[in-house]
Amino acid sequence: MKPIVALTVALVLWCAAGPQSADAQTKVRLSVGGQSALYYLPLTVTDRLGYFKDEGLAVEISDLAGGSRALQALIGGSADVVTGAFDHTIQMQAKNQPLVAVVQLGQFPGFVLALRPSVNYSGPADLKGKKIGITAPGSSTHFMVLHMMVAAGLKPEDASFIGVGAGASAVAAIKRGDIDALVSVDPVINLLLSENAIKIAADARTPEGTRGIYGGLYPAAVVYLTPAYAQNNPKTVQSLVNAFVRGLRWIAASSAEDIAKAMPPEHALGNPDNFIRSIRSSKPMYSPDGRFSRDSAQTAYNVLREFDADVKRATIDVTKAYTDVYLNKVPAR
């Protein structure tokens, strides 16, 4: 075939098929902050069991230092979707940069405020002057301790906050004495407890503990994205939600032992027995169906406006921070 004829044929075929539709996208760039934390276990389960692939998706996961870093990746354009804290959908609405959560993974956060045993502590007011380890500045672990400090009459600048990640680096920081206190999740907390390296000051690993800290149930990890991405890629977003809900259903129906087997060995932090115990105690944290609660979304807004000036000034509609549209279309399989 002559070059000019080949080019003509190619153009005809291209015009007949039309340009590549956004709906046909299969590659998804997903960012997360601290994937090894059990806070994000549904993401790892969904990926490891091949549920993304079953939906025709090639999900590229970027594991960053904390939730705020994952948010930055989305805003900066290097991620399409985030598995992160619901808090960020409220905060970005206040900045006129709307985000929408499409599936809820955690019904409460599972965060724990812990201190080295030698640190004197009788209440949040004693956090003044302390060095507090968090996953990353601006992450939901940071927000929990800020909420507790403000409620005790302290200011955010009354303590020093140090990003220590959500895995082995957090364990090392508390053991070395680099920090006085730590806000983290399992398996880090259970591992440190088993070694008598910490004492617990506040515990959001149960509904009761969560209500005691926040004043209500508090949404944890969600899958969020920009409205523009959802509008341009509805089939891709639906496939993502289908996969995540399938992962949540599998978690609800599976034993801690089976869940642990599905996870990367390094997530156990060198202690498989502790990892299984942590998964077992964390199972109530995960949503069975991915659905949202307006009451818990309102709790997040009430907490954030205590210390976030942008949220306090803005008029926030919490129902715009999430949608059930895709959840309503998930196959009942």
Q: What is the pLDDT of residues 231-267, one digit of tens each?
A: 999 999 999 999 999 999 999 999 999 999 999 999 9
* Inter-residue contact 71 to 88 (CB < 8 Å): yes
**CA 216 to each of CA 87, 155, 209, 249: distance values in angstroms, whole numbers, following the listed order:** 14, 23, 9, 25
17 token code pair = 């098929």
99 with 227, same domain?
Answer: yes
Domain contains 52: yes
Work out whether strand 27-33 and strand 58-64 pair parallel, antiparallel, or are unpaired. parallel
Considering the domain architecture, whether residues 116 and 105 belong to the same structural domain is answered as no
- Examine the domain organization and report whether 89 and 117 are in the same domain: no
Express each pLDDT in 114-152 by its tens digit: 999 999 999 999 999 999 999 999 999 999 999 999 999
Q: Please state, for a pLDDT cut of 90, what percent of the chain lies above it.
A: 90
**Domain finish residue from 214, 231, 257:** 214
Q: Is the pLDDT of residue 24 over 90?
A: no
Query: Which range marks the domain in which residue 209 is found?
Result: 112-214
Q: Up-side HSE of residue 1: CA atoms within 13 Å toward CB?
A: 8
pLDDT at 9 over 60: no
- Residue 63 bridge partners (DSSP): 32
Other residues' Cβ atoms within 10 Å of the Cβ of residue 139: 27
Q: Is 225 left (phi over 0), alpha (psi -120 to 50) or beta?
A: beta
How far is C-alpha 15 from the geometric centre of its chain's CA atoms?
42
Q: Are residues 286 and 225 in the same domain?
A: yes
Does 265 lie in the same domain as 174?
no
What is the reported pLDDT for 186?
94
Which of the four pLDDT bands, split at 50, 70 and 90, describes residue 13? very low
Confidence grade of residue 66 (pLDDT, cut at 50, 70, 90):
confident
Q: Give the domain CATH number at 165.
A: 3.40.190.10
Q: 67-77: per-residue pLDDT in tens?
A: 999 999 999 99
The DSSP symbol for 205 reads: S
pLDDT at 309 over 90: yes
* Integer Cα distance of 62 and 74 in angstroms: 11
| All residues at 6 or more sequence positions from 327 whose CB lies less than 8 Å from its CB, including other chains | 102, 103, 241, 245, 289, 290, 291
Q: Considering only the C-alpha atoms of the chain, give the largest distance between any 2 of them, rounded to a whole number of Å.
A: 84
Nearest Cα to Cα of residue 279 among 289, 293, 269: 269
pLDDT band at 2 (very low <50, low <70, confident <90, very high): very low
Q: Indicate the residue among 189, 214, 239 that finishes a domain.
A: 214
Rounded (5°) CA angle 134-121-170: 25
**Residue 3, domain member (yes or no):** no
pLDDT exceeds 50 at position 21: no
Q: What is the mean pLDDT of residues 61-84?
A: 95
Structure tokens at 95: 């900045």
Same domain, 53 and 66: yes
In a domain, 159, yes or no: yes
* Residue 242 is assigned to a structural domain of this protein: yes
Residue 7 has pLDDT above 70, yes or no: no
Same domain, 238 and 303: yes
Please report the pLDDT score of residue 157 as a whole number.
Answer: 96
pLDDT at 6 over 70: no
For residue 34 the two structure tokens come to 């601290």
The predicted pLDDT at position 20 comes to 35
pTM of the model: 0.88
How far apart CA 77 and CA 292 sit, in angstroms, is 26
Model confidence at 319, pLDDT cuts 50, 70, 90, reads very high
In the predicted structure, residue 166 carries a pLDDT above the cut 70: yes
Asked whether residue 228 falls in the same domain as residue 323, the answer is yes
CB 137 within 8 A of CB 68: yes
Q: Please check the confidence at residue 3 and state whether its pLDDT lies above 80.
A: no
Interhelix angle 294-307/140-151, rounded to 10 degrees, is 70
- Considering the domain architecture, whether residues 191 and 230 belong to the same structural domain is answered as no
Domains of the chain: total: 2
Q: What is the pLDDT of residue 65?
A: 85
Handedness of CA 221, 39, 108, 144 (dihedral sign): negative
Q: Let me know whether 269 and 289 are in one domain.
A: yes
Residue 1: inside a domain, yes or no?
no
Determine, yes or no, domain membership for 193: yes
Residue 26 lies in a domain: yes
- Contact by Cβ (8 Å): 12, 6: no
What is the pLDDT confidence band of residue 33, given thresholds at 50, 70 and 90? very high
137 in the same domain as 155: yes
106 by Cβ neighbours in 10 Å (0-12 / 13-18 / 19+) ranks as buried
Q: What gap in Å lies between CA 210 and CA 109, rounded to an integer? A: 8
Taken in order 305, 107, 283, 43, is the CA torsion positive or negative?
negative
Which of 188, 214, 240 is the last residue before a domain boundary? 214
pLDDT at 16: 32
- Asked, for residue 208, whether it belongs to a domain, the answer is yes
Closest to 204 measured CA to CA, from 127, 272, 303: 303
For a pLDDT cut of 70, what percent of the chain falls above it? 92
Give the model's pLDDT for residue 23.
Answer: 45
163 and 28 part of one domain: no
The phi, psi pair for 130, rounded to 5°, reads: -85, 155
